[in-house]
Structure 1
């Protein structure tokens, strides 16, 4: 496996994925949906071009859930482990950073910081919602 290929698996190992190349972006999301889905105060994301993400094992064990048309969240039907989220409007796939243990996670931004329940002082830009190019205001808020 090259340094530009990273593998991950669900909690039980029934579903495995592989990403190749470099992510389009990495960061933290503070929105209510991500917090509720991940059962944590913040979600670490890595965004990839769809062609860079491949399910290599257990595709039949992958189910989907749509709370909104903007996201298709995918999880293992055996263990319930969260695997990835398709964002068709953005043309990107979010592979949760925790799914890729050997990826050098270098976050560049906090999105939806206007909804945060956990203040993080790390010097990274904190966007109220999303960047303008992703349909947000692009407004930066204070740490």
Structure 2
């Protein structure tokens, strides 16, 4: 992946600060209802990182966690409610929402859970019915 470096992010109020180093494993868009509901948007832009690439540099005691499923441990600032990132322990990655890393050149490569989309995006990128097979999904792609 072309992006390699140090990227800093923070919650809405700045109380929680973090950084990721290196390059993301993958970037794309998630269309699942959980991500849409959590992000309050029609689609969620993600950047996936190895867990060791993420380091909280300030405010770790102000990070709250909610896991609706064993796949996603969503993190937010308990002071302002600002979203931070999502641990995906069963997948071995952490999703740092692309909007949280303003210096990261977002280069989406795939759409996941496109069967649930409410916003059709015609960008020529693969549209996965659920997830890629290497991440436990069916690997089935859908038409744009």
Q: Which residue number in structure 2 is paired with residue 72 of structure 1?
A: 73
Question: How many residues are aligned here?
Answer: 141
Q: Which residue number in structure 2 is paired with residue 35 of structure 1?
A: 36
Give TM-score scaled by structure 1 length: 0.97
Q: CA deviation at 1:139?
A: 0.4
How big is the alpha-carbon RMSD for the aligned residues of Structure 1 and Structure 2? 0.6
Q: CA deviation at 1:84?
A: 0.4
State how far apart, in whole Å, the 1-side matches of 2:17 and 2:99 are.
Answer: 13
State how far apart, in whole Å, the 2-side matches of 1:39 and 1:4 are.
Answer: 29
Q: CA deviation at 1:26?
A: 0.2
- Determine helix, strand or coil for the equivalent of 1:8: strand
Q: Which residue number in structure 2 is paired with residue 93 of structure 1?
A: 94
State how far apart, in whole Å, the 2-side matches of 1:63 and 1:125 are.
Answer: 33
Which residues in structure 2 correspond to 1:52-131 (within 5 Å)? Answer: 52-131=53-132
State how far apart, in whole Å, the 1-side matches of 2:72 and 2:132 are.
Answer: 17
State how far apart, in whole Å, the 2-side matches of 1:46 and 1:60 are.
Answer: 24
State how far apart, in whole Å, the 1-side matches of 2:121 and 2:79 are.
Answer: 34
Unmatched segments (≥5 aa) in structure 1: none
